[in-house]
Amino acid sequence: MTFHQSPADRALSRRKALAAGGVLSVAGISVLAGSASAGLFGGKNKKTKGDPEADAALINTAISLEHEGIAAYQIAAESGLLEPAVLEVGVLFQSHHKAHRDELARIVTTLGGTPVEADSQAAYAEQIEAGNLKNQADILQLAIRLELGAANAYLGVLPGLMDPDYHHLFARLAADEAMHWAALKGAVGEALPQNALSFG
Amino acid sequence: MRKILGGTLCSAAALAALGSAALAQSPATGDAAGGEKLYQTKCGGCHSLDMNRVGPAHRGVVGRKAGSAPNYAYSPALKAADIAWDEKTLDLWLQNPMAMVKGTRMGFRLSDAQQRAEIIAYLTAMSAKAAGGS
């Protein structure tokens, strides 16, 4: 098995990429529709399928996870232990986690809930046992663990969400975390999983 | 290319089906060593043994009452639940926490019985150590 692509394959992947773009804009539209209907009906609650309160509780738990991730990258960035290139990637990944947090918080509010607030940086430093981080390699291993845990967390929580729109969102969040994980594994030169379906 | 891929996918599915058939025949028994890695990868986004993170600290969980880890802010639902954590209750919880305790904030489900058994064996071993050490 090789990774060579024939021109036909490349055209196919371009089409696939375009199709993926299409999916994103469909999500965009449904998000718009959701907030528009919330506005129309005047209430705080989006007209949801299922159990908005239960969904909001699970989405809030996901926000806690993102808060911890954002703090972990912050602690790593401020540690002075990272090479500039690694720092740059860390800042990029942190920005993804901030975007996740913002999107999840927006939904909790739409559902009539209150997005959970972040703890102090010191509390997160203790939670992730930042005192044990002595060098860049330690930090990368921590990031690998947290990203894998986050990808699996999203995949394992997804079936419990009542509104199918959130299934889609959680799958997209898991994909981001899996992308971070794979990039970090590559950066430290570790092998990728031998078996398929290793996530979830 | 497509044909080859199709073939690979089919046989992988067949193997997985065989695998789960084999598992269905023998009751799931857990191995704590395998459980440690599984615990890290499946639960480690939210939990660790000694720290309250997104979820409560887990050392000593087997044998304690639900909602009783010190200094963790549980949901009212789990705090009020009358459950003692043992192999059986943990196995139910991990299949679907929200079905067991309506209103809990943990939604994570682990559908693979073997993986549940290994993680529970690991948590049991860690809890026994905690009791022995204190």
Q: Domains along chain B? A: 12-130 (1.10.760.10)
B33 touches chain A (CB under 8 A): no
pLDDT of A44 > 80? The answer is no
**pTM exceeds 0.90, yes or no:** no
The pLDDT of residue A79 is: 97
Nearest of A146, A180, A182, A181 to residue A64 by alpha carbon: A146
A64 touches chain B (CB under 8 A): yes
pLDDT of B127 > 80? The answer is yes
Q: Does residue A40 fall inside a structural domain? A: no
Q: Which chain B residues are within 8 Å of A61, Cβ to Cβ? A: 46, 54, 105-107
Q: Which chain B residues are within 8 Å of A66, Cβ to Cβ? A: none
Residue of A nearest to B56 (CA): A127
Range ranked top by mean pLDDT from A12-21, A46-55, A179-188: A179-188
Chain A, 93-132: which have a CB under 8 Å from a chain B CB? 126-129
The pLDDT of residue B33 is: 84
pLDDT band at residue A50 under the 50/70/90 scheme: confident
Q: Does residue A30 fall inside a structural domain? A: no
Q: Does residue A131 fall inside a structural domain? A: yes
Q: What is the mean pLDDT of chain B?
A: 83
Cross-chain Cβ contact A149/B54 below 8 Å: no
Residue of A nearest to B99 (CA): A160
The pLDDT of residue B130 is: 60
Q: Is the ipTM of this complex over 0.90?
A: no
Q: Does residue A79 fall inside a structural domain? A: yes
pLDDT band at residue B18 under the 50/70/90 scheme: very low
Q: How far apart are CA A87 and CA A80, in angstroms?
A: 9
pLDDT of B7 > 90? The answer is no
Domain that holds residue A109: 51-187
The pLDDT of residue A47 is: 55
In angstroms, what separates the C-alpha of A148 from chain B's closest C-alpha? Answer: 6
Cross-chain Cβ contact A146/B45 below 8 Å: yes
Q: Does residue A24 fall inside a structural domain? A: no
Cross-chain Cβ contact A61/B54 below 8 Å: yes
Number of domains comprising chain A: 1
pLDDT of A155 > 80? The answer is yes
pLDDT band at residue B81 under the 50/70/90 scheme: very high
Q: Which chain A residues are within 8 Å of B41, Cβ to Cβ? A: 148-149, 152
pLDDT band at residue B109 under the 50/70/90 scheme: very high
The pLDDT of residue A14 is: 41
* CB-based contacts of B104, cutoff 8 Å, min separation 6: A57, B75, B77, B78, B97, B98
* CB-based contacts of A118, cutoff 8 Å, min separation 6: A67, A70, A71
pLDDT of B25 > 70? The answer is no
The conformational region for residue B124 under phi > 0 = left, psi -120 to 50 = alpha, else beta, is alpha
The answer to whether the CB of B34 falls within 8 A of the CB of B118 is yes
pLDDT of A42 > 90? The answer is no
CATH number, domain of A58, equals 1.20.1260.10
In angstroms, what separates the C-alpha of A21 from chain B's closest C-alpha? Answer: 23
The answer to whether the CB of A107 falls within 8 A of the CB of A59 is yes
**Which two three-digit tokens encode residue A113?**
């809930």
Q: How far apart are CA B4 and CA A161, in angstroms?
A: 36
pLDDT of B27 > 60? The answer is no
pLDDT of A41 > 60? The answer is no
Q: Quick one: which H or E segment has residue A153? A: helix A136-157
pLDDT of A2 > 80? The answer is no
Of residues A127, A152, A160, nearest to B42 (C-beta): A152
